Structures are given as C-alpha cells and as structure tokens.
Chains A and B, each alone.
Chain A
Amino acid sequence: MNETAISSGDTAWLLVSTALVFLMTPGLAFFYGGLVSRRHVLNTLMMTVGALCVAAVIWVLIGYSLAFVPGGPLVGGLAWVGFQGVGDAPQSDYAATVPHLAFAAFQGMFAVITPALIAGAVVGRMDFRAFLLFVALWCLGVYAPVAHWVWGVGGWIRASGALDFAGGTVVHITAGCAALVAAALVGARADVKRAPLRPHNVPFVLLGAGLLWFGWFGFNAGSALTAGGLASLALVTTHLSAAAAVLMWLAIEVWRTGKATAVGAATAAVVGLVGITPAAGFVSPLAALVIGGVTSAVCYAAIQWRSRLSLDDTLDVFACHGVGGMCGALLTGVFARQSLNEAGADGLLAGNPKLLLIQLMAVAATLAYTLVVTFVLLKLVGLIVPLRLSPAQEREGIDRSVHGEAAYHETTGDDLFDLGAASDNLDPAVM
C-alpha cells in the first residue's frame, strides 16, 4: 500500500457521504412502506431494516474482502476478512487520499441498500427468516462478486473498460434482477387480483423519495471519493436527472390518464436517480437531463408491461431498478465524455460506439449471472426455511402473524374496511 497523504477534505466528504447513503435505506423503507397496504407496512419496513443489518454485518465479516481485495477476474480474496488490515492507511488502488476504513465503510452502505431494494418485490408474503437468510447469502453470492467484477482491481468488467460510476450495474441491475426472480419464486400475493396495490400512505412515499434523493447525493457525488470538481459534477447530474425524470413522468401521466400523481412523481424521482447512477461522473449536466427523461419514459413503459403479467413484483423493483439501471448503463455508453473525467471514456456521441457495446456486455453478464445465482440461492433457502407464509398467516396479515404488531391501532372505518369485515360498531342498517 502506498503511503499517500490523507486529505481531510476528501475524508470528511466521504464520511458525510457514507452517512448520506445510510439514510437512503430508511428512506427506502418509507418509500416502500407508503406504497403497501396498512396491513403490510411494518413487514415492509422490517424487511428493509433487516436487510440493512444483515448486509452490514456480512460486509464487515467477509463481503468487503470478496469484493475489493485485488485479485482474480471473478472474485477478490480473503485478505480483508473481518476488516483485518483495513485501517488508517489509504488503499491507493481505490482511494488514495482517504483512510482505507472510510472507503470500506462507504462501500458497505451500498452493500446494505442493494438487498434492501429486493424486499419490494416480495412484501407481505415472504417468510421473514427466509428473507434475512437470503440477504446474507445473496450479499456473498451476487453482490460481492459483481462488485468485484465492476469495481475491484482485477475484476473482468472493470478490465474491459465498462463504466459504472456509482453502481448502476452493481446495485440497481443486480437488485432489479434478483427482485424478478424472488417475485417469481415466492409467488404472487394471495389477494393480488382482488386487491390491487393501493398505497396506504402517499405522504410516506414522498417522504421516502425525498430522503432517497437527498441520500443519493452521497451515493453518486460520494463515489467521486474526492471532494472536488468530479463530486460537484456528479451532484449536479444526479439532481438534474431526477428533476427531468419527474417532469417527463408527469407529462406522460397527464397525456395517458389526465392526472399528475404524487406517487408517480416519487417513483419518477427514484427512477431518474437510478438512471444517472452509472453515468453521474462521466456525463455533462445536459446529458443528465436526457438520461433522466429517457429512463423515466422507459421505466413507465416497463411498469405498464409488468402489470399485464401475472408476475407480482409488488413494488416494481425490476421495472424501476432493473430496467432503470440497464437504461442508465447503456446511456452512459452513449453520453460519456472523457474530457469530463479522465478515468472515464468517450461514448457513442463522442465518436466511440465501442463503449456502448462494452456497456451492453456488462449489463448482459450481470443480468444473466444475477438471475441464475439468485434462483439457486432462493431454492437453497427454501430447503431450510419455507419462502412463503402459510395461507392462514397471509390472510391474517403479515404484520400481525409474523411481527405480532399492527402499524395502526385506531379502529376507524378505514381499518375495518381493510380487514374486509363489517364489525359490530357499524350499524347493519347503515351497510
């Protein structure tokens, strides 16, 4: 390891970014929690928080080592197991001006939010123990290897020249594809036909989206790993892409349904942030506007397509993160300019169509690997703990049957309505 001078500015920014990225997971919990019904909200929050804690522990114990130890093309090594040897001294292969520990912690937050994203596909019906076990295995079997491919020294995608600034491939494509498999293997909600997804708390959705947007500045601008021009570029492109995505989405909604919805705006903000993630430090602010707008339109179409399938990816994790991540990765290959970032490359519009092909190859490989390994891991988990709640537990509502709690205790008409039962404080004559 080179003994390079630690920059207190860079370190401060990276530590702040680490905290910002952490906040995205609770933000995601509220984003997801608001979208589900009143009877599933606690499970939705708990799946997200549970994934956070499991992934945090796994990351320190072995995940970071598998992902970032300089090594072979497929996986890192065991040198940094338990964060041994990860200390004050910078690791110049990754971030020469900050303590190695700060870099490892920052990366750990990415490892946390990625499995948490998957929860959105299976809320309200997956066994909680099975989900936590799955998260632990998935961090080791999918996240760490793919992170190594894309970011680790020696990783084959990194060596191929593919660009992924802040995790469009590593975070969003893996989470989206895993969500697709999880939704298929866990199966649809028992009442999916009878009770379409109707958000129980739209303000929660917007609160969550706001926290995600805020945290994403750490996610993307923090990925510069220095506090300077590159972080500034990433922050600006991140912000613009989200804003453009919201405007595009609302325009589509007004055109198709006549209503500009709050859930639509929140969804679009997230989708715009997903789209810019791989590109944030490689493209111009104007390109970010296009990336946000295009990703928004593509994800809107993907959600409409998914809703016609029997596949119950309940909160459209694949359509938002999988499709949005792929869209962003490919658009990075279109709009990247090396003049903006020396570590980047020129894309299609800068006269280098080859980058687009490399991006496509990275996307396809990640997609295929994630689908296959997630399938195997879920089957494995299913041998130990059933993936699915019993029909009786599901009928009772997962918050009560699994967590033994209810989010809302008041017996309002709303509550009774959700339970589908007329109770004795409603006069039969009134019904």
Chain B
Amino acid sequence: MKLITAIIRPERLPEVKNALFRIGVTGLSVHGIRGHGGEPEIIEYVRGQRIVVDFTEKVALRIAVSEPFVEPTITAILTAARTGNVGDGKIFVQPLERVIRIRTGEENEAALTPLTADEVQARALQEASGQTASGQTTSGKTTDHSER
C-alpha cells in the first residue's frame, strides 16, 4: 500500500480527476495549497507598486492505493497533469503502514478500493452496459463498497 501525494496545477484538476476515475481510482482528497517550486515568481502590481507573490497556488491530491494501482495512478497523473512547463508539480510516493475503513472497520487492502484491475474492468463493463457515465462519483464508490 502506498500513499501518493501529487501536487498539480489547479487548472489541471478536472483532467487528473477524470484520468484517475478512468483507471478506477476514485478515492482521493483534494487540498488547495500554496507553495514554491522551480517556477518563476508571480508579479502583481498594486497602484504601480510591484509585489512579488512568493507562493504559487497549487492543488495537492492525496490518494491511498494498493500495490497494483501504484503505477497506473502515477501514469494517470503524469499524463493528465503535464503541460511541459516549469510548475507542473511533483508526485511523492510513501509507504503506508495501515488503513482502516471507518464504516466497517476493515483494514488495509480490504479498506482500499479498488482491489484489483479485474474488479475495475468488471465495474466498467457494468457501467457501460446500463448506467450513466456520471455514476462514477460518490454513489459509485458506495456501490462498490457494499458489494464486498
């Protein structure tokens, strides 16, 4: 299990979300943050006075995934968040000691969705055969949980 923290451009958030949902990674938290990386400072002008804005607005995603999903998640973020310019952000991958689902008390792999790629595929097929594409939000996750 890994905790993946991705710092991305705020304007890429919709693309990254879609890319993650496409590969079945639907559990994530989003934080608005400010930070400093390699990009040049932002200059603002107030009444003719130059103001250097030290910290740039970014969005941080935190995603806990089981081992099979580490690489797909990274690939999804890389392709969706990349513009090729300085300031695209970073991905940090950290080992995750323990995960507990509060609702059921399930632990670790059982508390992470999805479990396997097969499960993702099965759900995608199920969705394609009947449900609307927008079923991929919170309600989609709930369905997933109740199946197990």
* A304:B7 contact, CB within 8 angstroms: no
Find A256's partner among B7, B48, B60, B94 (CB 8 Å cutoff). B48
Assess the A196–B51 pair: CB atoms within 8 A: yes
CB neighbours (8 Å) of A426 from chain B are 31, 33
Contacts of A85 in B (CB 8 A): none
Q: Does A307 contact B (CB under 8 A)?
A: yes
> Among residues 234 to 263 in chain A, which have CB atoms less than 8 Å away from a CB atom of chain B?
252-253, 256-257, 259, 261, 263
Once bound together, how far apart are the Cα atoms of A413 and B49, in whole Å? 25
Q: Are A263 and B47 in contact (CB under 8 A)?
A: yes
Q: Is A366 an interface residue (CB 8 A)?
A: no
Q: Interface residues of B toward A: which range? A: 20 to 34
Given contacts A430-B7, A430-B60, contact A257 B33 (CB under 8 A): no
Q: With the chains together, A263 CA to B33 CA distance in Å?
A: 25
**B7 / chain A contacts, CB cutoff of 8 Å:** 430
What separation, in Å, do the CA atoms of A259 and B44 have in the docked complex? Answer: 9
Query: A417-B55, A427-B5 are known contacts. Are A199 and B46 too (CB-CB below 8 A)?
Result: yes
Q: How far is the CA of A303 from the CA of B47 in the complex (A)?
A: 7
Residue B130 lies at the interface, judged by CB distance under 8 Å to chain A = no
Closest 3 CB pairs of A and B: A413-B32, A257-B45, A430-B60
- CB of B35 within 8 Å of the partner chain: yes
User: For the complex, what is the distance from the CA of A256 to the CA of B48, rounded to whole Å?
Assistant: 8
Closest to A256 in B: B48
**Is A430 a contact of B33 with CB atoms below 8 Å?**
yes
In the complex the two chains form, is A198's CB within 8 Å of B44's CB? Answer: yes
Nearest CB to that of B90 among chain A residues? A430
Closest to A263 in B: B46
Q: Which single member of A253, A414, A429 contacts B94 (CB below 8 Å)?
A: A429
Cα A198 to Cα B46 with chains together (Å): 7
The answer on a CB contact under 8 Å between A413 and B48 is: no
Q: From B45, which residue of chain A is reached at the shortest CB distance?
A: A257
- Does chain B have a CB within 8 A of A346? no
Distance (Å) between the CB of B29 and the closest chain A CB?
A: 10
Residues A264 and B62 in contact in the complex (CB < 8 Å), given A412-B32, A430-B33: no
A412 partner residues in chain B, CB cutoff 8 A: 32
List A189-228 residues whose CB lies under 8 Å from chain B. 196-199
User: Is A383 on the interface with B (CB-CB < 8 A)?
Assistant: no
- Majority SS at the chain B contact face: strand
Q: Tell me whether A417 and B34 are in contact (CB under 8 A).
A: yes
| B contact residues vs A (CB 8 Å cutoff) | 5, 7, 31-35, 44-51, 53, 55, 60, 62, 92, 94
Q: Which residues of A contact B51 (CB under 8 A)?
A: 196, 198
A158 to B107, CA, bound (A): 86
What are 28 residue pairs bridging A and B, where the CB atoms are less than 8 Å apart in the complex? A196-B49, A197-B46, A197-B49, A198-B53, A199-B46, A256-B48, A257-B45, A257-B48, A259-B45, A261-B45, A263-B46, A264-B48, A267-B47, A300-B47, A303-B48, A304-B49, A307-B48, A316-B47, A413-B31, A413-B32, A417-B34, A417-B55, A427-B5, A427-B62, A430-B5, A430-B7, A430-B60, A430-B92
CB distance from A193 to the nearest CB of B (A): 13
In the docked arrangement, what's the CA distance between A307 and B35, Å? Answer: 28
Inter-chain contacts of B53 with A (CB < 8 A):
198
Q: Which of A196, A307, A429 contacts B5 (CB 8 A)?
A: A429
Say whether A309 faces chain B, with CB atoms less than 8 Å apart. no
A322 to chain B, nearest CB (A): 15
Are the C-beta atoms of B50 and A257 separated by less than 8 Å? Answer: yes
Given the complex of chains A and B, what is the CA–CA distance between A252 and B48 in angstroms?
9
- Give Cα distance in the complex from A412 to B30, angstroms: 12
CB neighbours of B50 from chain A (8 A): 257
Q: Are B49 and A307 in contact (CB under 8 A)?
A: yes
Smallest beta-carbon distance A247→chain B, Å: 16
